[in-house]
């Protein structure tokens, strides 16, 4: 007999995996309805991810910011906060890194570190502001963070246009000393823009896990998430923890933005719309069950499918919308974990019966 503790841990892994399989099946059916062959479609997605070193490197490049965004969402969620503002905090991080990277002069390496640090602080404060509004004035974080996304987008556009402008509607290129790219790494992946950001993402996933699970601060943050009233009764400062959680969440998003500028583009473009990374982060956190390691898995899955799907259109002419549907179905099945749970329960019970 499996203990219920073990079952729930096992389910945490099994449910996303099952959701992926169910998502792929439903997506395949939809491709059929649209008149495309799902086997051809999925194999070109597979080629688009693992086909050659270049695609693998670019997939990892696409996954990197998603890990940060996923961590940011998951971290706030553990304190019971729904940080929809990761998008805006990501943009603030990009902006801060673009500024420090292009306009400060520092030695190689240190420059990149300082740029990331400044991005962390800026985005942390930006996220923390929403946390403060919630803690002090009781304004719901969903409302404030959504609005702050727009503030970040338009403020960033204005700042680039007014102060940071370089060639063709983007900020001045960062100095080589601030770059997170490594020539040998890029050469290894046939010129893909994979960079040190990936390593940072993995390190910060570990840091998040440690912070949440192994420290008193993390314990308090989670306690507030489980039940703020009980946490307060136990003598914890709920307001402080809400602020702190949003601060850290924002900082994580900011590093993501910084690595995007310092590692991939080398500048920040004036943008007509959101990057979408912050919003994808919500899905990544959901797939990852708000666990830092789960987030890595979620980002690999989400980023991989999303990036590989482009190959489907390039090679077979299948619209990428179909893979968006697959991803949506995966998210749907994860969100509707109870459905999967119920299916699993039925399955297990039947097995139990037949064993007797």
Partner 1 sequence: MNAKKVMGLAVTSVMAASLVAGCGTSNNKADNNTQGGTTGGKKMTIAMVTDVGGIHDNSFNQSANEGLDRASKDLGIEKKVAESKRAEDYTPNLNSFVKGGNTDLTWGIGFLMADDIKKVALANPNSKLAIIDSDLSGDIPKNVEAVTFNENEGSFLMGVLAAKMSKTHKVGFVGGVKFALIEKFEYGFKAGVKAVDPTAQVTAVYADAFDKPDKGKLLASQLYQQGDDIIFHAAGATGDGVFAEAKERGAGYWVIGVDRDQYDLAPKNTLSSMVKRVDNAVYDVAKDLQAGKFEGGTVRTFSLKDGGVDYAPTTKNNTPQDVITLMDDYKKKIIDGSIKVPATADEFNNFK
For partner 1, the binding residues (CB under 8 A) are: 25, 28-29, 32, 35-40, 48, 54-55, 58, 61-62, 154, 157, 161, 167-170, 191-193, 260, 264-265, 269-273, 275-277, 306-307, 310-311, 313-314, 317, 320, 343, 346-347, 350
Q: By C-beta, is 232 or 310 nearer to partner 1?
A: 310
CB of 225 to partner 1, least distance (A): 31
Residue closer to partner 1 by CB (options 75, 307) is 307
Q: Please report, for residues 13, 77, 171, the alpha-carbon distance to residue 9 in angstroms, rounded to integers and kept in the order given.
A: 7, 19, 47
Angle at 296 between CA 290 and CA 302, to 5 degrees: 95
Residue 57 CA to residue 52 CA, distance in Å, equals 9
Minimum distance from residue 109 beta carbon to partner 1 (Å): 24
Q: Provide, rounded to whole angstroms, the least separation between the CB of residue 210 and partner 1.
A: 30
Q: With respect to partner 1, which residue has the nearer C-beta, 238 or 269?
A: 269
CB of 343 to partner 1, least distance (A): 5
CB of 56 to partner 1, least distance (A): 11
C-beta closer to partner 1: residue 29 or 113: 29
Integer-rounded Cα radius of gyration of the chain: 21
Closer residue to partner 1 in complex, CB, 196/219: 196
Q: 24 or 121: whose CB is closer to partner 1?
A: 24
Task: Output the smallest distance, CB 216 to partner 1, in A.
Answer: 39
């Amino acid at each position: 007999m499996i203990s219920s503790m073990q079952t729930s841990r096992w389910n945490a892994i099994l449910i996303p995996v099952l959701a992926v399989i169910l998502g792929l099946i439903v997506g395949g059916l939809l491709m059929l309805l649209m008149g495309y062959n799902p086997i051809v479609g999925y194999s070109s997605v597979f080629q688009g991810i693992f086909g050659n070193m270049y695609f693998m490197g670019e997939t990892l490049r696409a996954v990197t910011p998603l890990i940060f965004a996923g961590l940011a969402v998951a971290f706030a969620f553990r304190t019971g906060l729904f940080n929809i503002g990761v998008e805006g905090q990501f943009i603030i991080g990009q902006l801060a890194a673009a500024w420090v990277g292009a306009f400060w002069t520092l030695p190689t390496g240190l420059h990149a570190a300082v740029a990331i640090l400044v991005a962390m602080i800026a985005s942390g404060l930006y996220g923390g502001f929403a946390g403060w509004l919630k803690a002090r004035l009781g304004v719901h974080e969903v409302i404030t963070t959504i609005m702050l996304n727009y503030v970040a987008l338009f403020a960033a556009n204005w700042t680039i246009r007014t102060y940071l402008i370089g060639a063709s509607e983007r900020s001045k290129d960062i100095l080589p000393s601030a770059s997170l790219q490594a020539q040998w790494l890029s050469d290894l992946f046939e010129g893909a823009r994979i960079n040190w950001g990936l390593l940072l993402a993995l390190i910060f996933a570990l840091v998040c896990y440690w912070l949440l699970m192994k420290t008193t601060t993390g314990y308090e943050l989670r306690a507030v998430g489980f039940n703020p009233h009980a946490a307060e009764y136990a003598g914890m400062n709920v307001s402080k923890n809400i602020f702190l959680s949003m601060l850290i969440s924002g900082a994580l998003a900011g590093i993501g933005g910084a690595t995007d500028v310092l590692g991939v583009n080398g500048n920040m473009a004036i943008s007509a719309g959101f990057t979408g990374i912050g919003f994808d982060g919500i899905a990544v956190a959901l797939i990852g069950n708000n666990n830092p390691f789960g987030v890595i898995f979620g980002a690999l899955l989400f980023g991989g499918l999303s990036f590989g799907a482009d190959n489907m259109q390039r090679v077979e002419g299948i619209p990428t919308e179909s893979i968006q549907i697959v991803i949506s179905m995966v998210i749907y099945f994860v969100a509707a974990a109870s459905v999967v749970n119920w299916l699993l329960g039925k399955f297990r019970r039947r097995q139990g019966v037949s064993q007797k």
